[in-house]
Copies of this chain bind each other. A is one copy, B any other.
Amino acid sequence: MSDLAQSAGPCERPGMSAAAPVIILVEPQLAENIGMTARAMANFGLAELRLVAPKGGWPKKGVREAASGAVHILDAATIHATLPEAISDLQYVLATTARERGQMKRAYAPDDAMADVASRQESGQRVGILFGRERTGLSNDEVSLADAIVTFPVSPEFSSLNLAQAVLLVSYEWRRAAGLARQPFDGAMTAPPASREAVLSLFESLETALGQAGFYPPEKRLGIIRNMRDRLHRMALTEQDVRTFRGALRALTRRVPHDPS
């Protein structure tokens, strides 16, 4: 193997952060959940997926379709016969569970868990997160192999979270905790506010037009005008906004022959 090939390790796959936690599904059954898990991981920059004894074998029919393009994660996924084998190279392991297990383990909310994970990763620790079977979750024995628990702040009246949805929440919170969450675009004003001169000239045009149209009795003019100015200020007008409104006002006040059609 050339030096070049050796240097192209898993850390250099696109979308992968070297420090992202490993997602470990224990005996997952449905192709759709495994595919959606891969997609959710890719959405938030996780890349390493391990499957412990997937029910019905591997690969599964339909899993690639469910991954909706995140097939690089499925292709790189590793299969393990047992949970201890799947976690042996890790230094810190979290177990996700909806139920109290009578184990004296710290139980984190997803955001707090991922804040802890992100700080461990800064010091070079390899972290894995366990997710159990679709119907029965993780066994107490499996939970006992983890350092701590992650649990989700779901409604007590409907607490059954889908497997891929649980992976999504953890992945989302990891990306935020790792400081990688950036909005794809921001909603800042794309144009600066209009100059006060432009705003004042719009006020003047509007007030003149409304006066000529008999919109207010003279004694109420000042109060109505102040309220109107207030409404326009609320829009935080740009130069383009002012030009558009002045054009609309000109069109509305233009004397055109009445069209009876």
Contacts and interface: CB of A to CB of B under 8 A. Distances in A.
A152 to B, nearest CB: 8
B238 A162 contact: no
Measured as residues with beta carbon below 8 angstroms from the partner, the interface class of chain A is 35 or more
Interface in A72-127: 98-100, 102, 104-109
B36 A162 contact: yes
Interface stretch (A2-10, A176-184, A201-209, A215-223): A176-184
A39 B187 contact: no
Number of copies: 2
B183 A107 contact: yes
Contact of A187 (B149, B157, B172): B149
Interface of A is mostly: loop
A195 interface: no
Interface in A184-208: 184-187, 189-191
Interface of A: 14-15, 32, 36, 39-40, 42-45, 68-70, 98-100, 102, 104-109, 148-149, 151-162, 164-165, 168-169, 172, 175-176, 180-187, 189-191, 238
Given A70-B158, A107-B185, 11 more contacts: A14-B157, A15-B155, A15-B158, A40-B162, A43-B158, A43-B159, A105-B187, A107-B183, A155-B175, A155-B180, A156-B184
